Amino acid sequence: MGSNVATITNETDGAPTPDMTSRRHFIATALAAAGWHRSAPPRQADMFALVLGTAQDGGLPQAGCYSPRCDAARENPRYVASLALVEPSAERFYLVDATPDLTRQIDLIPGDAFRQRAQARRPFDGIFLTHAHIGHYLGLAVLGREGLGISRTPVYCSPGMADYLSNNGPWSLMVDEGRLVFPSVQLDEWHRVDDTLSVRLIPVPHRHEFSDTVGFVFRGANRSLLYVPDIDRWEDWHVGIEDLVREVDIALIDGSFYSPSEVPGRDIEDIPHPLIPHSMNLLQSAARDGNEVVFTHLNNTNPVHDEGSAEAREVSRRGFTVARAGMRFPL
């Protein structure tokens, strides 16, 4: 686990602020209620999170983009941001966000057991969805009647997202046919998924055109992972991002843009995301203390896609990481 939560002090008098104290208490209480303590001995497990993609919803290359980066990606595409949670010994597989690239992404999941399960139309033990923007749920469609035709599969999402899927086609047909079912999950509380995996859904401030948005904290036998691919502003969140990063082992967070100048001809306020340099400033102390922070959900314009770019080198120099498909994080 990451180091203990640092004391957040008021710049004027050095005393902890009531707001930050309550945030730390909120997180600590939630963890304790789940029976999870830093002093607990590690259990043996082989679960890991596998990065299936790292691009913003439109992918890389993006439609209508003919920049050198997009042209190069036509030979070597970057898939839309997504994860798989894999436990080989138990032959359990979970999907985190169902992207438009899902058909190709599931080929990245290793082992014959997954392929046998997919051929039996039950590839996933569960699907976790953050929200209803195109990169995060459109891939469900290829799991329906016209595609894989999955059998009954739990979908972990907010009540608002479940309502959206249940009342809008083509996903509503998958609900009506019993392919997608929605376990009752309270937001901001721990939920045990199986004997190894637990999850907490945390509401996230992000554009709510069709549904609300959540981030996930996944807890395996030994380690925990935060997944927040989309947020408008860290400062608008009811949870302090540094507090939360210090309470997990790995944090995969919104890295959509490096600079507001990346999208000429569009108002950055219409597509708000925290810039990577701002996120690094907020989390520099946590990264310096050894907390692992990884940027994902990268827009096609983001120069950190290019491993040799000055921006990618700066991310590395400051102790952060840019997500790449195929990365594994033991849980």
Domains of the chain: 44-330 (3.60.15.10)
Q: For residues 187-207, give the mean pLDDT.
A: 94
Task: Report the C-alpha gap between 287 and 283 in whole angstroms.
Answer: 6
Task: Report the C-alpha gap between 23 and 240 in whole angstroms.
Answer: 7
Percent of the chain with pLDDT over 70: 84
Tokens of 165: 């899927």
Statement: residue 10 has pLDDT above 70: no
Place 167 in a pLDDT band, splitting at 50, 70 and 90.
very high
Query: pLDDT tens-digit profile of 27-74?
Result: 444 444 444 444 344 455 699 999 999 999 899 999 999 999 999 999
User: What residues contact 219, with CB distance under 8 A and at least 6 apart?
Assistant: 34, 36, 190, 197, 198, 199, 200, 331
Contact predicate 189/216, CB 8 Å: no
Q: For residues 178-203, give the mean pLDDT.
A: 96
* C-alpha distances out from residue 66 to 61, 100, 300, 331, Å: 8, 20, 11, 39
Q: For residues 230-257, give the mean pLDDT.
A: 94
Statement: residue 2 has pLDDT above 50: no
Question: What crossing angle do the helices spanning 276-288 and 310-317 adopt, rounded to 10°?
Answer: 30
Place 149 in a pLDDT band, splitting at 50, 70 and 90.
very high
Backbone dihedral region of 102: left (phi > 0), alpha (psi from -120 to 50 degrees) or beta? Answer: alpha
Percent of the chain with pLDDT over 90: 76
- State the pLDDT at residue 4: 33
Average pLDDT, the chain: 86
Q: For residues 128-140, give the mean pLDDT.
A: 92
Least confident interval from 2-16, 49-63, 183-197: 2-16
Q: For residues 218-223, give the mean pLDDT.
A: 96
Place 271 in a pLDDT band, splitting at 50, 70 and 90.
low
Query: pLDDT tens-digit profile of 60-70?
Result: 999 999 999 99
Q: What is the pTM of this model?
A: 0.84
- State the pLDDT at residue 133: 84
